[in-house]
Amino acid sequence: MRKLPTITEQIQSVKILSKITKRHTWYGGFLFFANLIIALFIIFGKSFSGGGDVNQQGVALIDASSGTGTGFLIKGQEGLMLTAAHVVKSDPAVAVIFRDGTFIEANVLFTDASMDVALLKLNDLINVDAALPIGDSEIISETDEVYVIGYPGGNYSITKGIISEKKSEYLKTDAASNPGNSGGPLVSKNDNMVVGMVVGTGIISGTRAEGQHYAVPINRINDLCVAKGYNLK
């Protein structure tokens, strides 16, 4: 039997639902009710398994016109956030909902469909301590332990696994990810730094394996961002 929400959680849910209600006229009735369900999942359906000292507050639900995914704030880069390109698609802006209920809109700075990467800029300031530090995907090795953090199905979760394969184009892990995890960070257990961004269980470089999930190496993402005028490190 699910435990009843605390007063704090009830107040938090009211705040989120109130903010989503204001967006009702922007997106129409269908998306309003979809957002309502997502907000209820966030408040009443959180899941958590491990995570150690991983900074979890900088990981947020991304609410786009075509669906939802995950994004994460980048430490040292005021208001910059990474997510997957297929999450935001052609939207010029998306809604970002943090685990504590903070609701901020973000502009899409650029997307790269070939790498499935999008860079966002929050329209308001947020606690910089929530941002995640960017690591070095070159030093990650096969069998190293990692965490996948995100919002599959609107539920906040952390799953643990290992790097099962490392290529210059991708990192493969057995840490579980599901629809909604796309755009979330792949974090090294060794130093709690981001070494990749989850792009799901789909096909990368023509390969597919049951129970295996993929991430774009963070160094490759940073090279792309540098070419666009944004250095994440």
Q: Is the pLDDT of residue 9 over 70?
A: no
Query: b vs e for 55-82, b when ≥16 Cβ sit within 10 Å of the residue's Cβ?
Result: bbbbbbbbbbeebbbbbbbbbebebbbb
Domain CATH number, residue 153: 2.40.10.10
- How far apart, in Å, are the Cα atoms of 200 and each of 73, 114, 233? 19, 14, 24
The more confidently predicted of residues 76 and 31 is: 76
Indicate the pLDDT class of residue 29, thresholds 50, 70 and 90: low
| pTM for the structure as a whole | 0.75
Q: Quick check: is 26 in a domain?
A: yes
Q: So what's the pLDDT on residue 78?
A: 85
Count the domains in the chain: 2
Phi first, then psi, for residue 60 (nearest 5°) are -130, 160
Of residues 171, 148, 175, the one with CA closest to residue 161: 175
pLDDT in the model for residue 129:
76
Of residues 42 and 63, more confidence is placed in 63
The answer to whether residue 81 is domain-embedded is no
Facing residues of 69 across strands?
Answer: 62
User: Is the residue at 76 inside a domain?
Assistant: no
How does DSSP classify residue 9? H
Q: 198: domain range?
A: 145-227
Contact 215, 199 (CB under 8 A): yes
Confidence band for 114, pLDDT divided at 50, 70 and 90: very high
Q: What is the structure's pLDDT at 51?
A: 54
Q: How far apart, in Å, are the Cα atoms of 103 and each of 23, 44, 122?
A: 11, 17, 10
| pLDDT on residue 105 | 97
Measured in degrees and rounded to the nearest 5, phi and psi for residue 53 equal -95, 15
- pLDDT interval class at 70 (50, 70, 90): very high
Q: Which tens digit of pLDDT belongs to each residue from 128-185?
A: 678 999 999 999 999 999 999 999 998 899 999 999 999 999 999 999 888 899 999 9
Confirm whether 28 is domain-assigned. Answer: yes
Residue 54 lies in a domain: no
* Dihedral over Cα of 100, 102, 108, 109: its sign: negative
Question: Which residues are within 8 A (CB) of 221 and not within 5 positions of it... i.e. 6 or more apart?
Answer: 82, 115, 117, 196, 197, 232
Residue 119 lies in a domain: no
pLDDT in tens, 181-204: 999 999 999 999 999 999 965 545
Residue 80 lies in a domain: no
Sequence-separated (6 or more) residues with CB below 8 Å from residue 80? 73, 74, 109, 119, 120, 121, 122, 230, 232
Q: What is the mean pLDDT of the chain?
A: 81
Count of beta carbons in the 10 Å neighbourhood of residue 182: 29
Average pLDDT for 1-24: 45
Instruction: Indicate the pLDDT class of residue 8, thresholds 50, 70 and 90.
Output: very low
Flag whether 97 is in a domain: no
Residues that are catalytic: 86, 116, 182
